[in-house]
Amino acid sequence: MSQSLLSNKKIILGVTGSIALYKACEWVRNFQKNGADLQVIMTTSAQEFVSPLSFAALSGNKVFLDMFDPEEAESIPHIQLGQTCDLMLIAPATAQTIARLAHGLADDLLSTVVLAATCPVLICPAMNSKMYLNPATQANLQKLRNYGYTIIEPDSGEMACGDTGPGRLPEWEPVYENVLSALLPQDYADQQIVVTAGPTQEPLDPVRFLSNRSSGKMGYAIAKAARRRGAKVTLISGPSSLPSPAGITVKKVKTAQEMYDETFLHYEQASIIIKAAAVSDYRPEECQAEKIKKGADKEEISLVANQDILKALGAHKASKSPHQPLLIGFAAESSRHFEEGQRKLQEKNLDMIVINDIKGKKTGFESDTNKVTLLDSNGAKEELPLLSKDETAMRILDKILSLKQTVG
């Protein structure tokens, strides 16, 4: 089955002496759940807050504390560690550690490993807001940015000491996004991507609507994957319970008509349009102003067809539009998957279609995994294995990029 996005990645977590250290303990678990091989380096002051034993137990690995460890003398840990890992995250990073790194000091194991590191280094400042805003700390952070380190902005809010302001260690989610971006190739850096996701809702009266079971998970996974690979992403989402992903412009819509308008509004700026939304094919002919009352035993609802947004985009592209984004569709199928996918690819003038088996146990709507077949306009067909939706999104983006390179 599927592997996770950090599997086989060697990550060093450097922890320093801040009250926010308890959060980093939780992050060790999160890294492991995502498949990373994690090693922890603790500064002397970090050991005042949490014992090295806790990090050893959580990470399942030896915790590095000392530059002059007789047990590791032959491997010279301060040179080895930062050169054999894929990424270093320093969180929480105190004002003292930030100052040390900004001045290239090498007077403890963590600062020495950073100085010798050849991998990306991410830093999460965490301290009292007055210390954080102090010009000396700000100048040190700017120095680190100039040296090529990534600084993850702290959250604002109430601090352990009672002060309020910036300096809190951020939540896991934005940190995880930064980690993934630092590890992934930024091969979408020149792309502006529009992704549609989720269902649409077609109102019948003030309390009822027509919709479908789409959760939005696949579309959101694609939007996030593209963002992680450097794209500028606009996500046009029907009603979904998923949180808006960080770093992505999210446009919320309800009806197919609203999705149509919003998608065409972004047509000109998009280099790639990916239509993962499950758009209602029909809507009630009329939306009643008042709640429909219970009455006869049999009630009929008259439906009218919604516009096919993707087909309209394909037709617009085939007309004289000087702007030619790559058009990618989805086909949600319960039978004759390949034939139906091929028909939609041609009828809607697409560059590629992602064929989705909605009847499979672990595939399609609501599931966290998916098994899709990619079919492109040159007739190439690629069947992907059962993967998490995050990994399926990565594989779809790999294929789109290779198409983009051939189409231009």
Q: Which residues are catalytic?
A: 161
Site for ligand CTP contains 309 (CB under 6 A): yes
Q: What is the DSSP letter of 207?
A: T
Distance CA 202, CA 282 (A): 8
Site for ligand CTP contains 236 (CB under 6 A): no
Q: DSSP string of 44-100?
A: TTHHHHS-HHHHHHHHSSPEE--TT-GGGGGG-HHHHHHHHSSEEEEEEE-HHHHHH
Minimum CB distance to ligand CTP, residue 116 (Å) = 49
3-state SS of the chain: helix, strand, coil percent to 5?
Answer: 35, 25, 40
Segment interacting with ligand CTP, rule: CB under 6 A, options 289-297, 325-333, 366-374, 397-405: 325-333
Site for ligand CTP contains 281 (CB under 6 A): yes
**Phi, psi (rounded to 5 degrees) for 385:** -75, 175
* Radius of gyration for the alpha carbons in the chain, expressed in angstroms and rounded: 25
Segment interacting with ligand CTP, rule: CB under 6 A, options 55-63, 91-99, 150-158, 329-337: 329-337
Location of structure tokens 């034993």: 53
Give the per-residue contact string, 287-306, with ligand CTP (x = CB under 6 A; - = no).
-------------------x
Site for ligand CTP contains 227 (CB under 6 A): no
Segment interacting with ligand CTP, rule: CB under 6 A, options 90-98, 164-172, 232-240, 274-282: 274-282
Site for ligand CTP contains 332 (CB under 6 A): yes
Q: Which of residues 256, 375, 396, 400 is near ligand CTP by CB under 6 A?
A: 256
Task: Name 234's bridge partners.
Answer: 194, 249
Angle between helices 21-33 and 52-59 (to 10 degrees): 20
Minimum CB distance to ligand CTP, residue 256 (Å) = 6
Q: Compare residues 86 and 281 and give the one whose CB is closer to ligand CTP.
A: 281
Segment interacting with ligand CTP, rule: CB under 6 A, options 73-81, 247-255, 292-300, 308-316: 308-316
Q: Which of residues 17, 199, 329, 364 is near ligand CTP by CB under 6 A?
A: 329
Q: What is the DSSP letter of 152?
A: P
- Give yes or no for a contact between 13 and 27, defined as CB atoms under 8 angstroms apart: yes
Q: Which two tokens stand for residue 114?
A: 């950073």
Site for ligand CTP contains 372 (CB under 6 A): no
Q: Please choose, from the candidates 253, 251, 250, 239, the residue with its C-alpha nearest in 3D space to the C-alpha of residue 198.
A: 239
Minimum CB distance to ligand CTP, residue 329 (Å) = 4
Helix runs in 122-209, H state only: 129-133, 135-146, 172-183
Site for ligand CTP contains 220 (CB under 6 A): no
Q: Please choose, from the candidates 36, 321, 26, 357, the residue with its C-alpha nearest in 3D space to the C-alpha of residue 171.
A: 26
Segment interacting with ligand CTP, rule: CB under 6 A, options 110-118, 121-129, 230-238, 326-334: 326-334
Distance CA 124, CA 311 (A): 46
Count of residues near ligand CTP by CB under 6 A:
14
Q: Compare residues 55 and 260 and give the one whose CB is closer to ligand CTP.
A: 260
Site for ligand CTP contains 275 (CB under 6 A): yes
Q: Which of residues 78, 229, 283, 344 is near ligand CTP by CB under 6 A?
A: 344
Site for ligand CTP contains 400 (CB under 6 A): no
Residues in contact with ligand CTP by the rule CB under 6 A: 256, 275, 277, 279, 281, 306, 308-310, 329-332, 344
